[in-house]
């Protein structure tokens, strides 16, 4: 079955399941992304801070897939955010990717101690109005930071890309995002391999019932919850496994059991503490 699309608040659509390249070495990225595209992914998520935008662009061109059939996300680096060179950063990303436009451009981290994220958001609004990028959003923004940029500009991001998985579900943030029609996009959707999925009966029982793996159950939970999700792997068999989640559906009891796994504890950095 094909990957479904979600419609963002600006009217643009995005494949609900994407492929992330966080911590993929630049010299490996082209081959990995080519494999992902061959496996059926059409949504690629990178960032200037990953140092592999150029390799992502090479993979896109090598694939022969029409540009309009792909969705490409990249992000403003903390270095450029801090320097204030927001336009230069966007232009460099466009050059490294070697594509005519970016589908979704995000502020990677709010870096609240720098007190520059509102200015960065105002620049992204300019890029959107100039047609340089189709959609604009943020990553790792918490409620207070979202409130600040929305109240100051009247423009809400179309997505907030945040750490979210069964052990850290960010329910308060999700409630706020829903009131502003901001779509949730999840990074680390499987917990970045830092917890044993087989240790949780809510996952293993559902996996047995549907003849799937616990990882597939988690990704299906994200999809049914309405999240955009971007798992990452460098192995083709995992790519195939992660995209093979559209031929089953979790029932209400299974969804409830997974929701009950929330511990409220992050695995990644706290956005309030990332300031450089």
- CB-CB neighbours of 183 under 10 Å: 21
Angle between helices 143-153 and 171-179 (to 10 degrees): 10
Spatial neighbors of 153 by CB under 8 A, at least 6 apart, are: 118, 121, 122, 125
Integer-rounded Cα Rg, in Å, for the chain is 18
Placement of tokens 């830092």 in the chain: 194
Contact 13, 233 (CB under 8 A): no
**Residue 265 is encoded by which pair of tokens?**
């504890």
Distance (Å, whole) CA 108 – CA 106: 6
137 forms bridges with which residues in the sheet?
106
pTM above 0.95, yes or no: yes
Q: Distance from CA of residue 216 to its chain's centroid?
A: 17
Residues 203, 194 contacting (CB under 8 angstroms)? no
Q: Is 50 a catalytic residue?
A: yes
d(CA 196, CA 19): 22
Query: Closest by alpha carbon to 275, among 86, 112, 83?
Result: 112
CB count in 10 Å sphere of residue 188: 22
Q: Where are the alpha helices (DSSP H) in 134-170?
A: 143-153
**Pairwise CA distance, residues 4 & 16, whole Å:** 6
What is the number of other CB atoms lying within 10 angstroms of the CB of residue 149? Answer: 24
CA distance 151 to 31: 43
Instruction: Output the pLDDT for position 136.
Output: 98
Query: What is the pLDDT at residue 19?
Result: 98
Q: What is the pLDDT of residue 101?
A: 95
Burial of 160 (0-12, 13-18, 19+ CB in 10 A): buried
- Supply the pLDDT for residue 65: 97
Assigned architecture for domain 5-194+228-234: Alpha-Beta Barrel (3.20)
User: Per the residue annotation, which of 50, 90, 117, 200 is the catalytic one?
Assistant: 50
3-state per-residue secondary structure call for 109-132: CCCHHHCCHHHHHHHHHHHHHCCC
Q: Mean pLDDT per segment of 10 residues, for the chain of length 276 residues? A: 94 98 96 98 98 98 96 98 97 96 98 96 97 97 98 98 97 97 97 90 98 98 98 97 98 98 93 92
Beta bridge partner(s), residue 184: 160
E strands in the chain: 5-7, 13-15, 19-20, 43-45, 71-76, 102-107, 133-139, 159-163, 183-187, 228-229
pLDDT value of residue 193: 83
Q: Is the dihedral of CA 28, 29, 31, 33 positive or negative?
A: positive
The one-character DSSP state at 154 is S
Q: What is the dihedral of CA 94, 98, 99, 105, to 10 degrees?
A: -30
């Amino acid at each position: 079955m094909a990957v479904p699309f979600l419609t963002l608040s600006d009217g643009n659509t995005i494949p609900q399941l994407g492929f992330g390249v966080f911590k993929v070495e630049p010299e490996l990225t082209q081959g990995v992304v080519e494999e992902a595209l061959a496996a059926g992914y059409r949504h690629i998520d990178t960032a200037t801070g990953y140092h592999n935008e150029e390799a992502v662009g090479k993979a896109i061109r090598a694939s022969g897939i029409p540009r309009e059939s792909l969705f490409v996300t990249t992000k403003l680096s903390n270095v450029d955010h801090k320097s204030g060179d927001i336009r230069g950063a966007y232009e460099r990303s466009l050059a490294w990717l070697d594509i005519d436009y970016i589908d979704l451009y995000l502020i990677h981290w709010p870096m609240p101690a720098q007190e520059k994220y509102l200015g960065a958001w105002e620049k992204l609004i300019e890029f959107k109005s100039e047609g340089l990028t189709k959609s604009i959003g943020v990553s790792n923004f918490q409620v207070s930071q979202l409130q600040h940029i929305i109240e100051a500009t009247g423009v809400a991001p179309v997505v907030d890309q945040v750490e979210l998985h069964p052990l850290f579900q960010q329910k308060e943030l999700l409630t706020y995002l829903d009131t502003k029609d901001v779509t949730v996009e999840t990074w680390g959707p499987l917990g970045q391999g830092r917890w044993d999925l087989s240790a949780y009966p809510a996952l293993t029982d559902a996996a047995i019932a549907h003849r799937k793996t616990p990882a597939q159950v988690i990704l299906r939970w994200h999809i049914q919850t309405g999240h955009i999700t971007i798992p990452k792997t460098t192995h083709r068999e995992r790519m195939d496994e992660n995209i093979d989640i559209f031929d089953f559906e979790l029932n209400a009891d299974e969804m409830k059991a997974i929701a009950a796994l929330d511990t409220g504890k992050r695995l990644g950095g706290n956005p309030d503490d990332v300031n450089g």
